[in-house]
Amino acid sequence: MDHLTILENKSIFIIREAYYRFKNIAMLWSVGKDSTTLLWLVRKAFFGKVPFPVIHIDTTYKFPEMYAFRDEYAKKWGLDLIVGSNEEQVSAGMGPKKGSKLDCCNELKTNALKQIIEKNGFKALLLGIRRDEHGIRAKERVFSPRDDNFKWDYENQPAELWDQYKSTAEEDNHFRVHPILHMTELDIWKYIKRENLPITGLYLSKEGKRFRSIGCVPCCNPIESAASNIDEIIHELETTHTSERAGRAQDKEDAYTMQKLRSLGYM
């Protein structure tokens, strides 16, 4: 069995485990390459269907291309799309320039997500995070429990072996499930190519620059790149020495911003 098929099977197994355990489940779709890959894997797991809601957390600072892509594929793939914003903070003018970046991410992403989970009573969320993205994400489990305060207890994570994932304990509010944790950035692009998946044009080079990781407009910087199609992106990644999230401003604020964000319930 080839490398990409092994990775795909691992993801599909995890997605099906999560759906067996939690009927009240949803997935997070940021419209980026990773969660779009995850969405495709969900369709594969359920023979073309997506049997649960797909959540887009809208900070209102996303790229226009992302909104257009979201609406196009939500329609094409028949998704039950839930768009969630922290309305109160958005109206109050929260932004990366108003507070710290940590506050902005925490209010507009994490707290927006909290509101949606509470409103819908979701018991599990599928997320497209990967171990090679960030040192903190490398420490994650596939099934990661969160308590009522949404805290990630990274100092005391449950054991996880042989594809047996932790059952629900009394104090578990919900689970974060990570079906593509084992994939690398390069795997994702090779898989996108093999499966001929759609992606937003933001990843492709225009006038010598492209985005390697996308999120909110004010906190994303493009990289110098001539890669204007997927083959060229794959070639670029095979030779690069820069890390994927180098253009993401929230990671840079201090050495542990990502850890702090994640322990508060960030994706």
Partner 1 sequence: MEERSLHLVIVGHVDHGKSTLVGRLLFDTGSLPPEKMEDIKRVCESMGKELDFAYVMDNLEEERSKGITIDIAHTFFMTKKRRYVIIDAPGHKEFLKNMISGTSQAEAALLLVDISRGIQDQTLRHCHILSLLGIKQVVVLVNKMDLVDYSESLFKDVEERIGTVLAGLNIKPSFIIPLSASKGENVANKTEKLSWYGGQTVLEALDSFSTLKVEEKGLRFPVQDCYSFDGQDIAVGRVEAGSLKKGQEVFILPQKSKARVIEIKKFQEDDMAVAPTGDCVGIITEGVKLKRGNIVSDDTRSDITDTIRANIFWMIDKEYKLGIPLTFKCATQEVQGRIERIYKRFDPAQLEVVENDSSVIMPAEIAEVEIKLDSQVTVDKFSDIPELGRFVLEHAGYPVAGGIII
Residues that bind partner 1 (CB under 8 A): 1-3, 5-6, 9, 12-13, 16-17, 19-20, 43-49, 131-132, 135-136, 138-139, 141, 154-155, 157-162, 164, 166-170, 172, 184, 241-243, 246, 255-256, 259
By C-beta, is 114 or 139 nearer to partner 1? 139
Query: Least distance to partner 1 from the beta carbon of 23, Å?
Result: 11
Nearer to partner 1, 84 or 179 (CB): 179
What minimum distance in Å lies between the beta carbon of 88 and partner 1?
31
- Of 114 and 166, which CB lies nearer to partner 1 in the complex structure? 166
Instruction: Please say which residue, 135 or 198, places its beta carbon nearer to partner 1.
Output: 135
Which residue lies nearer to partner 1 by CB, 16 or 71?
16
What is the smallest separation between the CB atom of 105 and partner 1, expressed in angstroms?
18
Query: What's the per-residue H, E or C state across the chain?
Result: CCHHHHHHHHHHHHHHHHHHHCCCEEEECCCCHHHHHHHHHHHHHCCCCCCCCEEEECCCCECHHHHHHHHHHHHHCCCCEEEECCHHHHHCCCCCCCCCHHHHHHHHHHHHHHHHHHHHCCCEEECCCCCCCCCCHHHCCCEEEECCCCCCCCCCCCCCECCECCCCCCCCCEEEECCCCCCCHHHHHHHHHHHCCCCCHHHCCECCEECCCCCEHHHECCEECCCCCHHHHHHHHHHCCCCHHHHEHHHCCCCCHHHHHHHCCCC
Tokens (6 digits) for 141: 């489990």
At closest approach, how far in Å is the CB of 58 from partner 1? Answer: 29
Token pair for residue 44?
A: 């594969």
Of 76 and 161, CB closest to partner 1:
161
Supply the minimum distance, in Å, between the C-beta of residue 251 and partner 1: 10
Q: How far is the CB of 122 from partner 1 (least distance, A)?
A: 18
